[in-house]
Structure 1
Amino acid sequence: MDILSLHQSEDLSVVVHEDLKKLVRSKGGRIALALPGGRSASLLIHAILMLEPAELNRIDLYLVDERLEGELNLDTLLAAGLGSAIEQGVFLSSQLHIPAVGCTLSHIKFDRVYLGIGEDGHFASLFPGSWPEQTEEQVILVEESPKPPKRRATLSYTGFLQLAHHCPVYLLFLGKAKQEALARLTGGTEGATTLPCAFFRDQHFDATIVTDIKEGSA
């Protein structure tokens, strides 16, 4: 698993934008990007909205998990600039897809997946103890999340296998609080049962670790 080191977390926007420019030039038709909620979402939205209008028109965004109570991850995306882009007509609300329990999130495979990794190694709303799940549904209900809010709709492990196994997946370890989780993943001794993000290593995804954590930092 490759590691991409950032000087600071804000550099993520530049890296993502440059990659997306290459992608839109090399691929015709629709482009499907999977996004997390949380603090990294604003950096990703910033990178996406730097695309030219004709390029942006080809982008479909898929939120990989959504809170079912309290402040929504959708609100995070809208506040990061997507809401203004929709109001201005440079991005259509129909280009944004939100997971709903029991519904298929996407019928087309993703071209890029960006996932914020939690301090416990979780991604989307797949927390320690969730692997292996016994479902064929793309989107599942989480009713007892270990971090608030308790109720969430998340893309399942099955969903990630169906939609993201062929494309680059970027695991975002941003901030010193993620240092232990990063060390656990690169240590290679844990599986997805205790460290969910190890799923991408063990299932042989094209995954890259992206981090602003400096080696040896306290």
Structure 2
Amino acid sequence: MTGATVVTHDDREVLAHAVAARLIVKLIDAQAAHGEASVVLTGGRVAAAVYRAVAELPARDAVDWSRVDVWWGDERFLPAGDPDRNETQARAALLDAVPLDPARVHPMPAADGPDGPDPTAAAARYAAELARTAGSGPLPRFDVLMLGVGEDGHVASVFPDHPIDQPGQPVSAVRDSPKPPPVRITLTLPTINTAEEVWLVATGADKAPAVGVALAGTGPARLPAAAVRGVTRTLWALDRAAAAEVGAAR
């Protein structure tokens, strides 16, 4: 992958606090430029650590949280409040601790929501919510979009060599996911790549092979993480274990 910025930290704890500080600054800068800010959240242990670190930093109060739109890059299609949902994780770690405008928090539909157990309809509903908020276009502005990276190189719920239901749409259902639970909703790669900045956050030696291959520029059909890039910036935030094969892969 060309044009990416790689930042390596000593361990997961240091990385979480560094990404948290970076996120606060990004939201402040976006509000200074546009009057508001928009962030797309991800899930996973590292993401939860970042969100907790944001909640702990005194600088969080420099953000006007009432003018932040919160979106998700993907979601496990489970009932609302299920502990495995990315929304549930983010609310517990950060969102319930800051004064967000509830109308600006946009969780992906749950399996017990208005579309019932139909993930295709739920994906279409989320696409409609994106379009409604965007106004003149199909998608709103995403100031920063955060992603984890799977051991197989997947991002959001876009998995290597695994089809999504609606590849031509901004949001798609995913069935028979290689990683449980089997049914998910995800932003598609073209949607992800509309974000001003995309941050890929990875820790641990088990991520090192995928990170190394993605940064070496492998084709996107094989490794979704290699196909991700922000409009103005693509940032890889890694701990030393996850970065172990970056030099070798280049």
Q: What TM-score comes out, normalization by structure 2 length?
A: 0.73
> Are 1:7 and 2:10 matched, yes or no?
yes
- The 2-side partners of 1:146 and 1:160 are apart by 21
> Are 1:102 and 2:105 matched, yes or no?
no
User: In the alignment, is the contact (CA less than 8 A) between 2:208 and 2:244 conserved in 1?
Assistant: no
Alignment of 1:14-53 (within 5 A): 14-23=17-26, 24-25=28-29, 26-49=32-55, 50=57, 51-52=60-61
Amino acid at match of 2:204: G
Aligned to 1:67: 76
Distance 1:80 1:18, change over 3 A: closer
> Are 1:199 and 2:227 matched, yes or no?
yes
Distance 1:34 1:78, change over 3 A: same
- The 2-side partners of 1:5 and 1:192 are apart by 23
Distance 1:205 1:180, change over 3 A: farther
- The 2-side partners of 1:157 and 1:112 are apart by 15
User: In the alignment, is the contact (CA less than 8 A) between 1:133 and 1:157 conserved in 2?
Assistant: no
SS, match of residue 2 in structure 1: strand
Aligned to 1:119: 151
Higher-helix-fraction structure: 2
User: In the alignment, is the contact (CA less than 8 A) between 1:67 and 1:73 conserved in 2?
Assistant: yes
Deviation of residue 205 (structure 1)?
6.5
Distance 1:54 1:180, change over 3 A: closer
Matched residue count: 208
SS, match of residue 186 in structure 1: helix
Structure 2: runs of 5+ lacking an equivalent: 109-121, 135-139, 246-250
Deviation of residue 216 (structure 1)?
4.6
Distance 1:205 1:157, change over 3 A: farther
Aligned to 2:205: 176
After superposition, the CA RMSD in angstroms is 2.6
SS, match of residue 211 in structure 2: helix
Query: What are the superposed Cα offsets for residues 72-122 of structure 1, whole Å, 9 maximum, x if unpaired?
Result: 111111221323x26xxx233333212341132532210011100000000
Structure 1: runs of 5+ lacking an equivalent: none
Identity %: 29
